[in-house]
Amino acid sequence: MLLPRARGAISAEVFARLLQAPPGVGTVPMPPGWPDHFEDPLEDEDLQVTLWALYELHYKGFEDVEDEWEWDAGMLAVRRELERSFEAALRTLAEPHVRAVVGGKGDLADRLFDLTEAFEGPELSAYLQRTATREQTEEFLALRSIYHLKESDPQSWAIPRLQPAIKSRLVELQFDEYGGGRPERVHQALYATTLERAGLDPAYGAYIDDVPAIVLATNNAMSLFGLHRRLNGAAMGHLGAFEATSSLPCVRYAAGLRRLGFGDDAAFYFDEHVEADAVHEQLALRGICAALALDDPSQEADIVFGAVICLALDVRFAEQLLGAWDSDANLLGPEHDGVPVPA
């Protein structure tokens, strides 16, 4: 589709601008203290928490922030600048893996399944199954709460942007994520029950001040992919890799929770994901990712990019968490908490 014809002075000017290259960097002043460049955007707590909060304006927002900020042009410009640095770092991280998969032989779904199986990382799920203490398991549950309490929402942004055959597969998958018509089975609600049964705070965002940059980056990557139509392929690749690395770890997480006596209600979220994600990985990788690449081969590189980012950030998270536990430290804690914002 091309731009419609202008119907007056305003549409004429706006459409004329849309036909130019976007102005890009430097058109809106950035906050004081803005660096020339971010050394390590993925580990930059300041960048990640800012980006997380700006994305949150598009989900539930904040009680103490006016809704109008969601579409404030200046604030969107700040978000865009942070995203540029963040996306560049993600591209650098993913590049070698993306190159190894894109344009390879065989069906893209098979290549993505192979990628998820070959991706090397520490065995966090095995540790939680057999070794983790109750406190460590609670820490893991709290760290994961930032995503699981908004589980599947970042992928829902992609729905209107897909062509009908692929859209129907994504909605079929999301319908299951959102409980299949049963509010009590919405995966977000199941996770809230898990938190509650583990004696943790099930409130949305309860642990946000205590999570490290890697947890924020993991969530921000999903919002980045979901909110940009340009990155639709990455959003679906991320979804595919996420689903394809879920069933087997969820068997172990559930076993770990039962070993520590958390009970069946607490483990149910993970039980549910064993069966659900054995279906979803097929839907996401075959019905969505491979179909999307077949429909538009230019999407393949971004699909693989999204999949690699899911796997690579998951490995970083596991390394940091197991690394902390190995030296009797924690990843969740008040050291990530910043300073109160003056009213």
Question: DSSP letters along 144-157, please?
Answer: HHHHHTTTTHHHHT
| 136 interacts with other proteins by CB under 8 A | no
| 282 interacts with other proteins by CB under 8 A | yes
The residue within the footprint of other proteins, chosen from 197, 252, 286, 316 (CB under 8 A), is: 286
| 186 interacts with other proteins by CB under 8 A | no
Q: How far apart are CA 162 and CA 92, in angstroms?
A: 27
| 279 interacts with other proteins by CB under 8 A | yes
61 and 108 in contact (C-beta within 8 Å)?
A: no
The residue within the footprint of other proteins, chosen from 78, 101, 222, 283 (CB under 8 A), is: 283
Q: Which amino acid makes up residue 248? A: L
**DSSP class of 289:** I
> Segment near other proteins (CB under 8 A), from 79-87, 92-100, 225-233, 278-286?
278-286
225 and 90 in contact (C-beta within 8 Å)?
A: no
- Locate 191 and state its tokens: 């996770």
> Segment near other proteins (CB under 8 A), from 11-19, 148-156, 279-287, 332-340?
279-287
- Locate 212 and state its tokens: 């490290």
> Segment near other proteins (CB under 8 A), from 29-37, 150-158, 244-252, 332-340?
244-252
Q: Which amino acid makes up residue 166? A: I
Residue ranges in 3-62 that form contacts with other proteins under rule CB under 8 A = none
Torsion-angle region of 263 (φ positive above 0: left; ψ -120 to 50: alpha; else: beta): left
What is the nearest approach in angstroms of other proteins to the Cβ of residue 127? 18
Q: Which is nearer to other proteins, 43 or 271 (CB)?
A: 271
> Segment near other proteins (CB under 8 A), from 173-181, 217-225, 314-322, 332-340?
173-181
